Amino acid sequence: MLKSLSLLFSLLITLALPGSAAADPYLLMAEEDGCYWCGRWNAEIGHIYPKTAEGRTAPLVRYDIHSETPDVAFKSRVHYTPTFILVEDGVELGRIEGYPGEDFFWGLVTMMFEKADISLKAES
């Protein structure tokens, strides 16, 4: 009985730890200080993205390209900021290099999800 409780407790702790749902997709935003287009994205999209189906499906994770590189199998090195990389199971599934403006951004994100065969989560 004690062994079963210990195993159950370990399982619950593992599920509660950040990153335990590694299979869940996320959108990695590579940015850097002073990036004009990163600032534009933040002003135009940043506050909206978490409220969208895309944001619920692949929450935004940011990283500065001059800091430690995330544990992701990138298809190629990040050269431009912002770069938006769709990641699942630690593997890059697609990317958008640069910020083409609000109107084009949503279309490119939609195409990236479709190409990766990731269905958008409905509003809860």
Q: Sort 74 into a burial class: Cβ within 10 Å, 0-12 / 13-18 / 19+.
A: middle
Q: What is the SS3 assignment for 22?
A: coil
Does the global pTM surpass 0.85? Answer: no
CA angle 57, 100, 53 (to 5 degrees): 15
Pick the CATH number of 21-115 from 3.40.710.10, 2.40.40.20, 3.40.30.10, 3.40.1260.20: 3.40.30.10
Tell me the backbone φ, ψ of residue 38, rounded to 5 degrees. Answer: -65, -45
Q: How many helices (H) and strands (E) in the chain?
A: 4, 4
Tokens of 17: 């730890």
Sketch the domain layout of the chain as residue ranges: 21-115
What does the alpha-carbon distance between residue 73 and residue 91 come to, in Å, rounded to a whole number?
5
Predicted confidence band of residue 5 (pLDDT cuts 50, 70, 90): very low
For residue range 54-91, list pLDDT tens digits in order.
999 999 999 999 999 999 999 999 999 999 999 999 99
Of 70 and 123, the structure prediction assigns the larger pLDDT to 70
Span 20-26, average pLDDT: 72
E strands present in 16-121:
26-31, 60-64, 83-88, 91-97
Q: Sort 54 into a burial class: Cβ within 10 Å, 0-12 / 13-18 / 19+.
A: buried
